[in-house]
Amino acid sequence: MTTAPRSDGDCLVCLWACSWHGLRQRHQQIMGRLGRSMPVLYVESPRDLWSSLRSVFRGQMQLRQLFWSREVEKGVHVFSPVVLFSLRRYPRLNRLYLRWLAARLRALARRLGFAKPVLWVSYPLAEPLVGALDEKFACYDCCDELTDLPPKMARIILDSEERLLRKVAAVFVTSEPLLQSLGARHPNVHLVPNAADVAHFVKAREENLPCPADLAALKKPLIGFIGSVQHWVDVGLITEGARRRPGWSWVIIGGIHKDISCFSGLPNVHLLGTKRYDELPAYLRQLDVCLVPFEPKPIVYAADPIKVYEYLAAGKPVVSTAIPRLRVFGDAVRIATGPEEFVAQIERALAEDSDEAARRRMAIASGHSWDSRVKQILAVWNACAAADRKRQ
């Protein structure tokens, strides 16, 4: 990977990130690439003690990660802090906890040889840590609409975000609605959308990829959703599609985090569970149409689903509900409103798919790689560092 020039001694602390060993998302993709050119301390979002111990027993993390960091890949050191109470519900306790965490992170930074790191803040509740780690400067990466929460929680998060915006040198956002919202509140906001690990997902076009055993017996066509079934996933829409087209196999690959009782009695809906990241190309190869069935919610309006980039990198037809960010893909992503149009768009995608159409989709995805996103980020950081030197 070619990156913008960096000065010697650069290091990075990523705060409040998603679990390194969970779904391979924006945080891991960006930090893994930055770790090739600078050391990264990847601080996961604090988890309760029992969740952390379960991860240790399952082999997903080492016990030492609760106290020290562990190098998980070249240049990336993961620390998994533990907390005994809800940081959202008890903001005063949260501030006391963060004072302890700041001291812990300073000790970790010294042990890793970090001096004046850049801070990457992934969630507003980490705001008190900005200014407590002797950083060169800080930036805020906003991936979601944060008001889609119960009112009390939303107020706590938004108050933290307001304070955070006064502290950071730059803000990165993933969609135009977020750019519009945060651009009115900070002078240095940059649109850095999500992307795909193109080289990984293009493997779905390899003819020698074996068919996964849990797909082999399913009737074609295979209509699939890959990702975590969270509250914004429209399981009712999938249910209605499965009822209208009982001859299609509707496949869900990912963890379930909402009520799916609507799937009861539908033998053509298949829940395959979570798969490893390295297994996903083999599953994508077998899918005939890939879905983004999201409900019309504020968090969806501002979303930039990573799965769309990955579907396209695999050359797959995509049918989605209406999400503003997806307009950038033109007719490569078919948009549907309501069950009738949803099924009709899937039928068109099945009828009109071809090798040439797959190549067009892959060509679109190639312009949206994580490597290119990291170049954007580094260019902004270089400008921030130059401005900091001028002030000194």
Identify whether 224 is part of a domain. Answer: yes
Q: How confident is the model at residue 3 (pLDDT cuts 50, 70, 90)?
A: very low
What are the backbone dihedrals phi and psi of residue 171, each rounded to the nearest 5 degrees, phi first? -130, 135
Tell me the pLDDT tens digit for each residue of 358-391.
Answer: 999 999 999 999 999 999 999 999 999 888 777 7
Identify whether 137 is part of a domain. Answer: yes
116 and 208 together in one domain: no
Q: Name the average pLDDT for the chain.
A: 92
- Segment among 16-20, 132-136, 270-274 with least mean pLDDT: 16-20
Identify whether 5 is part of a domain. Answer: no
258 and 381 together in one domain: no
Identify whether 235 is part of a domain. Answer: yes
Q: Looking up tokens 């956002």, which residue turns up? A: 173
156 and 259 together in one domain: no
94 and 207 together in one domain: no
Domain count, the chain: 2
Tell me the pLDDT tens digit for each residue of 194-249.
Answer: 999 999 999 999 999 999 999 999 999 999 999 999 999 999 999 999 999 999 99
What pLDDT does residue 60 have? 66
387 and 337 together in one domain: no
Angle between helical axes of 235-244 and 338-352 (0-180°, round to 10): 60
Q: Report the greatest alpha carbon distance in the chain.
A: 68
175 and 37 together in one domain: yes
73 and 205 together in one domain: no
Mean pLDDT of the region 301-319? 98
Identify whether 155 is part of a domain. Answer: yes
What pLDDT does residue 86 have? 63
Identify whether 7 is part of a domain. Answer: no
Q: What contacts 333, CB < 8 A, 6 or more positions away?
A: 292, 308, 312, 318, 319, 320, 326
226 and 335 together in one domain: yes
What pLDDT does residue 89 have? 67
Identify whether 295 is part of a domain. Answer: yes
96 and 149 together in one domain: yes
98 and 62 together in one domain: yes
Host domain of residue 323: 198-366
What pLDDT does residue 84 have? 73
- DSSP at 274: -
Domain CATH number, residue 215: 3.40.50.2000
What pLDDT does residue 2 have? 35
230 and 353 together in one domain: yes
Tell me the pLDDT tens digit for each residue of 65-87.
Answer: 666 788 999 999 999 888 876 66
Identify whether 351 is part of a domain. Answer: yes
Q: How confident is the model at residue 146 (pLDDT cuts 50, 70, 90)?
A: confident
47 and 120 together in one domain: yes
